[in-house]
Amino acid sequence: MLEKAFNMMRKSKALILIFIVLINICCGNKSFDLSSVALGEDAKKYDFENKDLFMKDAAKADIIQYYADENKGITYGNIPLDNTMGTRITVYKGKVGAVDTNAAEKYSLEFVEKIIKKHGNPTASITDKATVDAQLVQPIFEKLKKLSPEKVSWDQNQKNAFTYPTSFFWDDGKNYSILSISIEDDGKIRNKYISVTKEAYRNNAVFGLKYPTPPASPWYKYMN
């Protein structure tokens, strides 16, 4: 009788273990690939509210903001995102109006490559100069040179310095996209990417963007 009771206990433990495993599979850490989001699409397609990844702010009836402050569980085409800058998705009149994010610093150049590949040749760009630690400058220069050969060049008057695009701008007819990068002396590369529909932009639906474009903006002649 004791043996029978023991066997029943073992079976019960096994069933409990199986149940726990199933719960972990079904309700474990969720993930979301931000690169799957297309501007202008019906926001319901992505079910932002039920992913347990975003906070919601519906300050206005036709504008909803979804935030992920630490980017937990969110990537961009398998590229990790920055866990301090966060991600913001704007839904305007039920459609995806904007995506605003930053890749993790370690993966900045991979992120730049992916965004350039996605959008193609930029409509416009801005260049500046960077001076980087001698042990780090060569690989950074070579990578950027492959991505933008016409805009990247060594500074002949200063050691370990080069010119590179700090911002790329794209206008595909329906959307504006801006990718900005900054290179620090220690080789750290910061980045910021925002893509917005012209409709959402021209109705001032996106945090951080203002329409009409301020005259001081480098994109003034492009974003009107």
Per-residue pLDDT tens digits for 140-176: 999 999 999 999 999 999 999 999 999 999 999 999 9
pLDDT of residue 128: 98
Reading the block at residue 66, the tokens are 């979804």
pLDDT of residue 21: 37
| Under 8 Å between Cβ of 37 and 47 | no
pLDDT of residue 51: 82
pLDDT of residue 18: 46
The phi and psi torsions of 137 (rounded to 5 degrees) equal -65, -40
Q: Which residue has the tokens 């398998």?
A: 78
Sign of CA dihedral 147, 174, 195, 40: negative
46-52 mean pLDDT: 90
pLDDT of residue 217: 97
pLDDT of residue 17: 43
The phi and psi torsions of 72 (rounded to 5 degrees) equal -65, 125
β-bridge pairing 32-33 and 74-76:
parallel
The pTM for the full model equals 0.85
Asked whether residue 28 carries a pLDDT value surpassing 70, the answer given is no
Tell me which of 97 and 10 has the higher pLDDT. Answer: 97
pLDDT of residue 50: 83
Nearest partner of 59 among 206, 199, 195, 202, judged by Cα: 206
Reading the block at residue 81, the tokens are 């995102």
Asked whether residue 79 carries a pLDDT value surpassing 70, the answer given is yes
Asked whether residue 182 carries a pLDDT value surpassing 90, the answer given is yes
pLDDT of residue 26: 44
Nearest partner of 122 among 222, 224, 207, 213, judged by Cα: 222
Q: Other CB atoms closer than 10 Å to residue 141's CB: what's the count?
A: 20
How far apart are the C-alpha atoms of 166 and 144, rounded to whole Å? 11
Angle, nearest 10°, between helix axes 108-119 and 134-147? Answer: 10
- Per-residue pLDDT band at 23 (split at 50, 70, 90): very low
The 3-state DSSP composition of the chain as helix, strand, coil percent (nearest 5) reads 30, 35, 35
